[in-house]
Each structure stands twice: as C-alpha cells, then as structure tokens.
Amino acid sequence: MKISLEQVQFEENIISGQISNFKVIHNVMYIITNADSTVVFIINLDTPDKIEKLKVPVLNKEEKITRMWGLNDTNGGVLFKTNLGRYFKYFAADGKTFSLELLKKLSKKSNFHITSVNPCHDGNSVLLGTKEGKLYQYFMVEDKLTKLYQFANSKSIDGILCDKENILVVSNTFICKWSNVDLLKQKFTAPHETEYFDNGPNNRGVTRHNTFATYNMSKFAWVTKTGVLFGDLTDKLSNIKILLNLELPKNNSKDTPCVVSAVGITEFYLYLLVNKSQIVIVNQLTNKIVFQEVLYFENEKIIGLDIDENNGTPTYWTYSNKNVYEIVIKEAYTNLWDILCDSHEYEKALGLNDLPLLIKQMIYKKMGNYYLTKDPLKAAISFANSNSDFTYEALKLVDNINALQAFLLHRLKTANLTKVQRKIHTSWIIWNYLQMNIDDNDHDDKTPETAKPNELRKFLLENKDNIDSKTAYELLNYQNKNSDLLFFANLIKDYIFILNYWIKEENWYKALQTLVLLAEPSYVYQYATILLCKSPECTVTTWMRLSNFIQIDQEKLIPSILCYFSNFYCKEICTFSDTDNQGVVINHGLIYLKWVVTSFISSPSAANNNNGVLSTTANKTMSPLIYNTILYMMILDNKTNDEHEIIEFMSKYPNKYDTFFILGLSLKFKKFETAIYLYTELTMFDEAVNLALNKNMLICAKDVARKSDESKTKKLWLKIARATLLNIDNGNPVASNSSNVSSKSTMVNGAQAEGINSSTTATTTSLGTGTKSVTAVKVTSNGSIATTVSSISAADSSKDVKQIISDLIVDSAGVLTIKDLLPLFDDITTIANIKDEFIKSVNQHAELMKEISQEITDLVRIKKNILQDIEAFQDRYVKIEAGSHCDSCHELLQNKKFYVFPCGHNFHLNCLVKLILKGGDYILKSKLENLERKRKLNSGFNKKIIKDLDELLSTKCPLCSDININNIDESLFYSLPNYNPEDKNKVESDWCL
C-alpha cells in the first residue's frame, strides 16, 4: 500500500477563518468556517474551479451552523443543524437544481437535538438519534416525524446504522441492535441485542460525532474507552471485533495513552486519527497497522477525518483548522488479497480496486483449486479466468464433462487465444455437447434464422467464425446429428456440402434450392445430369433463374440434356402407345435450349453483359452446337410426325446450325420435308426435287421448282411434268410402293448427300386407251427419270390428262408450255387432251410475233431520224457579232485565230490551249502535250497534226466542262480584264473581312 498526503489548493482564499465543519458527499465538498458560520462553501470536485457559496438564513447574529450530515440520497442531499435547533435540507428537487429548505417539523419541536443521522434504504426517510436518547424516523417529502424508541436514562445517541432488516444504535456506554424488523409495519420493542462498554475519562475532549463511522450501509466503527469496535451490521454483537488502544502506536514525545480522536471505515481498513496528530490505518482482517504517520503542521491543529463513499470508489480526507488534505491511497490490495484468499474469501479479493491482472489470475487459480471438489462448475470458471496452463487445468476437470464444458466455454469467451487455439477449443466443445446427448427436436429444413436453437446450435451460431468446419463435420457426422450438421452448414453458408447432402438423400427440390444459393456454374454442370433426369421441370426452371445472376455456359449442359433426352424422355415416349398420353410427356431440355436461343435473339447486345443468360456466351453469336442439339431432339422426337415445327425453327434461325449435319439426320430418320427444305437452302434443287418426287411429295417438288435459279427452273419443271404425266391413274403419287434412301449420319456433299438410288413400280393409266399399264419409274443419280411401260389401260383418262396439263402450265407460271410437254406424251395420247393448251400456245406465239414486228418497225423509224440529224449537223453554223471578244483574255476575237463552241463561248487558239493545260482534264492535257512533242519531232505542222490538234481543241468548252474544275477555289476577280497580278496582295486585303 502506498499512501501520500496532498494539500488541497483552493483557487480563491475561501478559508479566511478557521475550518469548523468539513464534509465530502458524492464528490462534492462542503466547508464551513468560523469567520461566517452561516455560509457554506460548496465545491464540486469534478469542476473544482467553480465555488458556490450557500447562505443559510439565520434568525440573529448568534445563530450559526454547528453540524451537517450527508443524506446519501440519489441527489446527494445535506442536512444542516444550527445552534438554535433549526434544521435545513439542501437538495435537488428536480435532480439538477439544488435549493435550501427549512425543515419546519424538526425545527419547531422543542427539546429536540439531533446527534446522529442515517438514511434508510427506501431513500425517502432517515433515522434520527437525539441527545435525549430518542430514536425517530423522519419522512423528508411528507415532513413527517415518527418516534420509534426511547432509551432509558436519556442517553445521547452517538451513531445509527440500518439496512432493510437491521438497525444498530450506539450510545455513550452501550451498543444495541434490532434484527429482522420492518420500519413501516413493526412496532419497536426493546433491542434484541445489547452490549455495554466503558467510555470513561480516556475519551474526554473527543468530539462525539467523530467517534462513529459507517460504510456502504453495512460496516461500522465505534470508538470506546478501551479501543475501536468494528464489524458488519449483519453480525451478532458478540462477534464484533475490537482494536485495543494498546495495539495502537504511542506518542513518543509524551508518555500518554493513545486516544482515538476520529474514525473512518471502508471494506477492509480502519482509518484512525490518534491523539489528533497521527494518521493510522489498520487492516480489519488482521488488526495490523499497515500505515502510520505523525502529522506536524505549523500553527495547525488536525480536527478530523472524512471518507466519501462516492459510489464504490471512496476518497479519503483529513482537515485541520486551516487546510484540507486528501489521503491518496494506491495499491490498497497489497497484503490484502492473499489474506482474503487464505480465508477463502475469493470474491472479496477479486473485488479489490486496481488489482493487477497477474494477481487476479493467481486468485482465480487458488479459487479453482479450492472449489474443485466442492463446486466443480465454479472451479471451472475460476480456472478459465486464471489463464494458467490450458492442458493442466483441463485434465483436472476431464472427469466432469459439465465442468469441463464450462471451463472451455468461459476460456473461449474471455481468454486471448490464437486462431488455432480457438479452433481447438470449439472442436472440443462440440464434442462435449455431443457426448452430453443434447436433444434436438428441430426439423432438417430449418435455417439458422428460423430454427429453435438448443445449446449446441446456440454455440455454433455464436462461434461460427472460430470453428474448424472439417472437424465439426466429422464430429457431427460421427454422431449422426444430421439436423445439426445441416444447421451448421447453413450457418457457415457451406452450400457445397448441403448440395451434396441433398443429392445423396435424393431430395431434388432441396438440392435445387441449395444450387440457387450456391450460384456456382461448375456445380450447375456437375449435377446437371442427375437433377435433369430426376426432376426435369424444376431443374430447367432453376437454370433459367440462375441465368439472371451468374454466367452459365449452355454448351456444357448439352451432354446432360442429351442424356436426359435419350435415356429418359425417349423411353418415356415409348412407354405410351396412344397419342394423347404421349402429348403429356414434355421435353424440358428442349424447352430450356429454345428459351436460351429466344433470349439471345431478343437481346443480342447483352452478349457482353455480366447479367443474364446472354452473358454466358463468350462471343456475340450463339454456338451452332446449341441449334444442332435443338434440331437433333426435334428430329428424333417420335411424339409427332409433323415437321412444320422443325422447318419453322430452321427458317427462323438461318445459318445458325450445321446444315449438312441436320440434313444427314433428317434423311436417316426419314424427315423428308426437312431434308427437302435443307436441299433448297443449299441450292441443291435437283436433289430436292428428286427426293420429293420419290417420296410422293409433288407439292413440295413444285415449291422447290418455284424457288430455284432461273437457269434450272425449266429443267426442274420438266422433271415434275414427266413424273406427273407418268402417274395419271387416279392422281397417284410418283412412287407408291417403297424407296430405299441411304445416307450417312454425318455431313454429306453433292449428289451423294442426297443418297437416293431407288426404283419404284407405279400403276399408271395410258392415254386414250382402256387398258391398265404398270410403269416402272426410276429417278437416276443424275436426276433423270427412266420409265418402262408394260401395258396401257384407260378409263376416263382424257379428263385427267387435260387437267394435269393445264395445272402444270399454270403452276409453272409460264415456264412450261405445251411445246415443252409434247415430247413427254406417249404415242397413244389423243389430240383432244392437248387441244386447248395447244390453241393457247399458238395464240401466245402469234401475239409474240406481232410484238416483235412492231419493235422492228420502231427501230427502222429511229434509224431514219438519226440519219436526218447527222445531215442537219453538217450544215450547222454560228453567227459572231461585231466586237466579240475572247472569253479568256477578253481581247477582240477576230485579231487572232479562234474557236467558237455551241455553248456560245469564244476563245483564241493560244488562250484555249492555256485553259486546257491549266484545267483538270488530265487525259485531254496529256494528248495535247503528246501532239506538241510530235510537232517538235517533225519540225513543224503537217496536215495530220493540224487535224488532230483541231479535234482536240474542239472537244469541249474549257469553261462549261470539267476542264475548269481546278479553278473553283480562285476568285472571280482575278479573271477580270483590267486585273493586274501585281495588285494581288492589295486586292486580297481589300476583300478581307
């Protein structure tokens, strides 16, 4: 323990006289001096620079304040007493503003001299002891005074202490106590305990109000002749302790007995003022003096001691007639904590103020060893707080799993552990919980937010960041705690584990829910097959939903979709024989891929977007593999034979799929309409028509012929006509028996891709006879049709042939004529069948010849007009007016050789040459320069050069043609007749803006 005495320095000289009363209550200092005993100096120690002066109203100059008591209520009230028996209360009615109030009930009562005050536990009343030996209860708010007891012989009451059930009163020669009483209900009788002491001559000269002190409404100390009595309010009076005067240090200067002038008490120490000159501090537990110091102050006299409880942090004061001193105590725990531990009062030892951490840990360790057999749970908490060797302390508790668990939990919560240590603790705690067989009534599907937590789950919830997940999984799985296992996995958001768990349990709905939470493309691909096969509709819906916020590569899902299609969808189709039941079966893989394609086409700009299905493609174009897969499933789907949906899809997304691959599939699986469409898209019109004619698909053949190139149209229509005319018996198709179509399942090319080498035998009707014939129709590899007629039979055939011929000519839109069809008729065809069409053809030919004749007549007339124009141009001339000038140099035109153009422009020969050379017609310029070089080589002009020069110069006007294009950016001012080139700069400056 380190103790020092510090003088209080006041900013103002408030101590003009001698201090008569001093008190510190709730960290507020009250000082009264004899200079003016009606003024109270109030100093809040939190703001010591502000000093308040409280003036107490008095009746006359003789009245002064003689005593003051702390009421210890929540607002720190003070009770003042004057020498005339008047009492004032200084308190804060509203909790903030203090005011002074006269207590009329107490002040008017005669023969009423309060000597001691103690607040009651209710905070509204106080117990009062009087000089006349009477005990009262005073209710401050109601201003009500109630007498509780009258002591015999009118002994003055020196001190009072009370709590909820006990009241202790000390007088001059005795101490008494009431136990288990109710101040409001019970009528007081004689004290339950009384002890008498001699307060004789040794205490003369000692102020009685300094001889009794209390602390925290539980501790008390009372100065008697023989020594100081101290103890606890709850103790019996026979068990209270006494510190004899003989144990106190004597005054060396005088051989006189020790007299205790003032006393103060705290939880463990007695503070004594001995012989008004010596401070002595005594340990209550051992009655040993831990501090003593003689105070020597010149011209000062020590008056008393005061202790302010200050809400559990006491401050210590002593004052003289001139100054106030604070007793500063540090390390009050020294030599105290070990004494408390020896007496097994560990809680009190831990409650010591400013106790170092190391000493606290030592106390906890001793406490744990003491309670190890008496209270293992308490021992476990103590060991955890001791921060001692973890292994050593845990081994002490290993036989008691509850105590061990408490030890681990508390240590995890309070100790400064490393990350590895925390994982070790949490793993051991989980194992202990499992060994304790905690009941789990929660369902598997509850999440950490909705599940009712038991102790284990509460622990997992609070320490999820400190748990080693792998160890926790092994422990929970070992104990078959599936619900806790899922709870923990959900807690740490280990959706991979949860997904694997639900897949193993074949709970597809939960697995898909977890897949959405996981939102990892790799696991979408990993479990795509099993989820799609087991729960196709929900799986496809989940994929669509996931595509809104993660990138899914649909190409990686195609193997799973094909597996589902081949092994589940097709088998399910085969199990139904009727169409109605087959219609119930839905290809969910096809639905998903169509949704992907539709989404991409609807927003192609999203290919580089981070959100949505469109972001799954690496490029801006969808992979052909997706389109091929869609068409593959549509072609192999036996639910319906209608190929309209396949063709519609291909026409909607042209050039998106592998055409040859789909062509091979359609031929292999007898989707001939699809194959004909693909032949047409590949401009393989011959193969398309041949396939259509071989498969009884005359309408398809005609459609192909209409779409074909102009160079092939007539050839295709002739094929169709030949096949049609050979099958006029009741309008039967070209081939009605069977065909052999061979193709590869992979890509095909050219005529081999068609893969048709078939021969058919058809029953036909010959023209104009009544016999039937069997005609063999064969479409060869080069596209020709070979026929063999065995016999002929006709029945009402003229009508069929006539209509067929008319339909062929109309359907071909004029491509076929009767002339083209004549070679196709056999020898027995009658004229009646072709008469109408023949007449139409002759009429059309006559009209055509008439048009040609008219065109020839028009051309002859145009020729005559041209010849007349040529003759007229030979005699053309231009008149030149007198005074005409050159349009380039603006000089008189007739002075030099000149040229006149039809546009009206006139130029001198030399001016024309200059304009051409300056102009933008580089071809004309080059010819002119070449002609000039020839002239120089020939040393002059000859007739040919003159003729060529004349033709060149008269080609076009240099002002009206493109020759003048280079002069477009020159000012017109420069071409004026009076323009002088030397004035160029002046002219340009004049025209500047």
Instruction: Count Cβ atoms within 10 A of the Cβ of residue 434 and give its class: 0-12 exposed, 13-18 middle, 19 or more buried.
Output: middle
Q: Are strands 114-119 and 772-779 parallel, antiparallel or unpaired?
A: unpaired
**Cα 775 from Cα 762, distance rounded (Å):** 5
Radius of gyration of the chain, Cα coordinates, nearest whole angstrom: 63
Q: Which two tokens stand for residue 376?
A: 């293992």
Per DSSP (E only), the strands in 718-860 are 758-765, 772-779, 785-789
Q: What is the pLDDT of residues 150-181, one digit of tens each?
A: 888 767 888 999 988 899 999 888 899 998 88
Three-state SS string over 344-408 comes to CCHHHHHCCCCCCHHHHHHHHHHHHHHHCCCCHHHHHHHHHHHCCCHHHHHHHHCCCHHHHHHHH
CA 365 to chain centre: 47
- pLDDT score, position 833: 58
- pLDDT score, position 782: 39
The amino acid that residue 587 corresponds to is N
Instruction: Tell me if 390 sits within 8 A of 410, measured CB to CB.
Output: no
- pLDDT score, position 386: 87
Q: Which two tokens stand for residue 465?
A: 């960041």
Instruction: Count Cβ atoms within 10 A of the Cβ of residue 868 and give its class: 0-12 exposed, 13-18 middle, 19 or more buried.
Output: exposed
Whether the model pTM is above 0.85: no
Q: What is the pLDDT of residues 88-130, one digit of tens each?
A: 988 876 667 788 888 888 888 877 889 999 988 877 888 999 9
Beta-ladder partners of 3? 329
**Cα 729 from Cα 793, distance rounded (Å):** 9
**Cα 604 from Cα 828, distance rounded (Å):** 64
Instruction: Count Cβ atoms within 10 A of the Cβ of residue 539 and give its class: 0-12 exposed, 13-18 middle, 19 or more buried.
Output: buried
- Specify the residue for token string 């002190």: 213
Angle between helices 797-811 and 710-725 (to 10 degrees): 170
- pLDDT score, position 989: 65
Number of H helices, E strands in the chain: 35, 33
pLDDT along the chain (993 residues), means of 10: 83 72 89 86 86 87 88 74 89 74 84 88 85 88 86 84 90 88 77 81 56 89 90 89 84 68 89 87 87 82 86 85 87 79 84 83 88 88 85 86 88 87 89 73 47 74 87 85 85 89 91 91 92 92 90 91 88 63 76 89 51 44 88 86 87 89 90 88 86 84 79 76 64 37 31 33 31 35 36 41 67 65 58 64 76 88 85 75 86 87 87 85 86 79 81 85 72 54 62 60
Q: Which two tokens stand for residue 739?
A: 């065909």
Three-state SS string over 56-105 comes to CCCCCCCCCEEEEEECCCCCCCEEEEECCCCEEEEEECCCCCEEEEECHH
- pLDDT score, position 232: 92
Beta-ladder partners of 503? none
